[in-house]
Structure 1
Amino acid sequence: MTIALPLALGFITSVIGITPPGLINMTAAKVSVEEGRTRAFVFAGGATFIVLIQTFLAVIFAKFINRNPDVVIVLREIGLAIFLALTFYFFWTSKKMKPKEKKVKLRTKRSRFFLGMLLSALNLFPIPFYVLISVTLYSYNIFSFEKPFVYMFVLGSGIGAYFAFYCYIAFFKKMESKTAFILNNMNYIIGSITGLVSIITLINVINYYCD
């Protein structure tokens, strides 16, 4: 497999996982507005560093899980339920979502790099997310647990994470004036992606039991 594939997979999955508004990316945007882009980029660097570690640990954990076929099919079924729930959630909130002002208080005086590390470390979602993604992609023969592939995938996830943070930092003011439009479209896009993954996973699970 070429270097481009794991980089692309890592980049895309990371962007999908980090783009929805959350504490970390909204804090990055707030740092940009209140303290300047330079400090915001430093903050994003700290958060991205933790994402790299979390992704690597998740892939290693997924490698051990993948050795047991029974565990893999259970994870696929759990993944199917999660993806279906996410699909309904994103489409449902797209209709009901109203723009709300989010306030993030930055009380710490420490380096923004370590603040980024701290907030990112408190977010444990990336680990199960990347475990599920790794096992699912491997089942479709587009992922490998070989070291070069894993390293490139982790690097791609870091680039994707930093890119997502960059977008919040660079375009927050424009996004702020069009919050409802962006969030609604973002939810439809992500909901469509999770819906497609749900269909593929469902077909895979049915094929497993029919064999």
Structure 2
Amino acid sequence: MNILLCIILGFIIASTGSISPSFLNLTVVKFSLKSGKKAALFLIGGFATVLFFQANIGAYLASILMKNSSYITLIQQLGTVILFILSANFLRLHFNQNKTTNKIEIKKSKAYLHGLGMSLLNTFAIPFYFTTISFLIGLNYFDYSFYNAFYFSIGSTLGSFTTYSVYAIVANKIEHKLTKVAQKMDLILAVLTGGVAIVNLILLLK
């Protein structure tokens, strides 16, 4: 399979999937507003590091798990529990936060590690790549192999990094318009993660 095609497919899928509101891109906006663009970029670097492996795992699962739905159910169950925990944590942060919008200096290493942690808790990534790659395989646009998955992951990492970086840059340029939103960012994140967790729970109970 063409290397460039694998990279392009990964880039398009990841950048498209990163556009819609999620706790990752909203966290990028929050970091950019409170700590500046550099801290946000290191946060994104943490996201991208984990995402590279998540895309690889998603591709691998797409090649073997289609025959056994019990593993997918287990992943959904674990993901639902994590989402509820995240939602409760964001609510705690919202009610305990300092209402001022002064910038806070955060060390680059700390921002990067925070990005690693947030991305590891992102239960959307692996199912997202599993689903999209399964779709590509069904359309004969993707043939799984170690190297194809590797190049696809490179493209997806670049795509997500690019999209999240746009969020960070735009947040800085229109900071005065996003101040009120930034104050309620944790609440927005809590609602998003909680909403998805409830939907997942309903689907699991059917």
- The TM tier, using the shorter chain, reads 0.5 to 0.7
- The C-alpha deviation readout for 1:76-112, integer Å capped at 9, x for no partner, is xxxxxxxxxxxxxxxxxxxxxxxxxxx7969x98701
Q: Percent identity?
A: 27
- Measure the CA separation in 1 of the matches of 2:130 and 2:51: 13
* 1:170 and 2:169 matched: yes
What is the one-letter code of the residue matched to 2:162?
Answer: F
Report the CA distance between 1:27 and its aligned residue: 1.6
Letter in 1 for 2:154: L
Q: Structure 2: give runs of 5+ residues left out of the alignment.
A: 73-93, 98-103, 179-206
How far off its partner does 1:65 sit? 2.6
Amino acid across the alignment from 1:26 = L
Shift of 1:44: 0.4
Count of aligned pairs between the two proteins: 145
User: What are the superposed Cα offsets for residues 50-69 of structure 1, whole Å, 9 maximum, x if unpaired?
Assistant: 11121111111111135x4x
For 1:111, the equivalent position in structure 2 comes to 110
Task: Name 1:4's counterpart in structure 2.
Answer: 4
Please, which runs of 5 or more residues in structure 1 have no aligned partner? 76-102, 179-211
SS of alignment partner, residue 123 of structure 1: coil
TM-score by length of 2: 0.62
Query: 2:170 is paired with a residue of what secondary structure?
Result: helix
Q: What is the CA distance between 1:30 and its match in structure 2? A: 2.1
Alpha-carbon separation, structure 1, partners of 2:126 and 2:41: 23
Structural RMSD (CA): 2.7
Paired position in structure 2 for 1:65: 65
Name the amino acid aligned to 1:170.
I
The residue number in structure 2 matching 1:130 is: 129
Deviation of 1:159 (Å): 0.5
**TM-score, reference length from structure 1:** 0.61
Question: Structure 1 residue runs of 4+, over 2 Å off?
Answer: 103-106, 173-178
